[in-house]
Structure 1
């Protein structure tokens, strides 16, 4: 077993860039149902009601869209030190910085594609104010009464120039487990799904058709039920939000999904993967062939063209 396994506990939070700050925040609060917790400069901090940490998402005003950084929580202070050392040993540049979004001492590095990764352990647990206090003490916050009311930040899908190099870094240096992948007839790995825990995936790398580095395919929020995703589709059409594809079911990972484009241009997935866990310690890597992927999604829906071509920041 990989000695690094277990040193990263889970995906912590993501910082998204947007050229439409007000529109993106509106989408996050009124469509997703996130709670705004604070503003720092040009950044707005938001959270999903069942995430235990202060922040699930930071939205920052910028000239373009995309992802600025992705935060991963280590499982202990010692694990954080081990993964920081492993990154440097693997030839990745890194530095210790002050934590952001309620986190403590942070090791900032990047994957081979240039996506910025913040590794941390110390974190501030969320304490709900009286008006957001839940009835159940094992829930961080009362369920929101607006939008979908997504439960948690679920995963991030990076676009990469070299999927295999990025995936192997995430496996060998950060300790993730690969669960599924797409391998083309040429033998090239075009996508790989990885998990740090018993979820079926936390991080995905998908081949960037432009050959660019450091771009984002999407971030995803988990819902309680499939019906929540149907509600999201109704909210989207009522409010002029672009539905890219879905509601439908992925063949890979069996996730029920809806993909939306928020006003800043970033792709957001609402997904319902809550019933599928990878409990086997010796789970085999499931490989999908090029021919199998041509069949489309689980129920035969062909994948829409923009799903392969749209990423952020956009390429001229």
Structure 2
């Protein structure tokens, strides 16, 4: 049986995000100069970046374009054949699936692109990706680092956080579990309606989440809440907020520690695109194969924040609850860099 068993196509981890930004230079300053991420390639209005412990070519793509959309949420699959297997499975389920040729993102192989059922978010699945060496002057003596730690010390992309309309949240969250094999780790419900999912944190590995999905406050589908980047420790969060405040970066919430997942957080804005970014450190790990997802009620104040000020969630005044839009099935037209 062990010689014939095939688990089918699987997701390995959250692989990346393509952020559309009207001000590429400002976004590059934020991610490259402040965060310390390495630029692995640039091509006429598109920049590719990675953290100092990422060996894949990139986890972040910055695309200069007029509209600040999230162009792509991407996941790496477990095996080369899983791209084709997912393609066939999704087509059989009636989804419109686009094949994205190798090299569309520099350094990345062929991918497939589709819209999340119930969410409308553009998802890409890929396996092949280059693993270039950093430039010699950026290389670390630590073999586990792809480059030297610089700036605020972003190690890697940790997770994606998306939102969809309340009418579609249960369908979209269920689809991520049933069709992509993501496991629910913790989730948030209403006291008066336990069948309604306010938010859910899902992963395929030991992290709390490769992706989280919540009900959007504005009632719209295809919404983006944030992308999180991992830094090493809690102290680094406090150093980051001190330095970011001093250069005028908008802070939406934090620093604080989540009860759900138990990581320390800081929510800020990319000044080039105005999309929300989280700096994320620590957190509980999930190793049990029979883990039973923890259910939190929305009226439990310890879920969002174990310590630190509770984020402002008043829709009239809050910066934290606002969301930004995603692209559709077709990749947006990018704007070439100025000569």
TM-score normalized with structure 1 length: 0.92
- Confirm or deny: 8 A CA contact 1:159 1:213 kept in the other structure: yes
| Distance of 1:76 and 1:130 partners within structure 2 | 31
Task: Say which is worse superposed, 149-158 or 296-305, in terms of deviation.
Answer: 296-305
- Confirm or deny: 8 A CA contact 2:108 2:129 kept in the other structure: yes
Q: Choose which of 237, 242, 245 in structure 1 pairs with 2:253.
A: 245
Say whether residues 1:90 and 2:98 are aligned partners.
no
Residue in 2 aligned with 1:36? 39
Say whether residues 1:200 and 2:208 are aligned partners.
yes
The Cα shift of 1:80 comes to: 2.4
Q: Evaluate the alpha carbon distance shift between residue 72 and residue 295 of structure 1 in structure 2; reply closer, same or farther with a 3 A threshold.
A: closer
Deviations 1:131-185 (A, max 9, x none): 11221223222222xx201110000101112222111111111111111111112
- Confirm or deny: 8 A CA contact 1:15 1:70 kept in the other structure: yes
| DSSP 3-state at the match of 2:300 | helix
- Confirm or deny: 8 A CA contact 1:35 1:48 kept in the other structure: yes
- Confirm or deny: 8 A CA contact 1:5 1:175 kept in the other structure: no
The Cα shift of 1:28 comes to: 0.7
Q: Choose which of 116, 123, 126 in structure 1 pairs with 2:122.
A: 116
Deviations 1:193-214 (A, max 9, x none): 1002121211010111212121
Deviations 1:68-124 (A, max 9, x none): 101111110222222222222332210222132411111111202221111111111
| DSSP 3-state at the match of 1:180 | strand
Residue in 2 aligned with 1:103? 108
Q: Choose which of 300, 310, 315 in structure 1 pairs with 2:322.
A: 310
Q: How many residues align?
A: 309
- Confirm or deny: 8 A CA contact 2:260 2:304 kept in the other structure: no
Runs of 4+ that moved beyond 3 A: 3-6, 293-296
TM-score normalized with structure 2 length: 0.86
- Confirm or deny: 8 A CA contact 1:14 1:56 kept in the other structure: yes
| DSSP 3-state at the match of 2:83 | helix
Residue in 1 aligned with 2:169? 163
| DSSP 3-state at the match of 1:194 | strand
Unmatched tracts of structure 2, length 5 or more: 1-5, 327-339
Deviations 1:27-60 (A, max 9, x none): 1112211122222222111111111101110111
Unmatched tracts of structure 1, length 5 or more: none
Q: Choose which of 272, 279, 282 in structure 2 pairs with 1:270.
A: 279
| DSSP 3-state at the match of 1:218 | strand
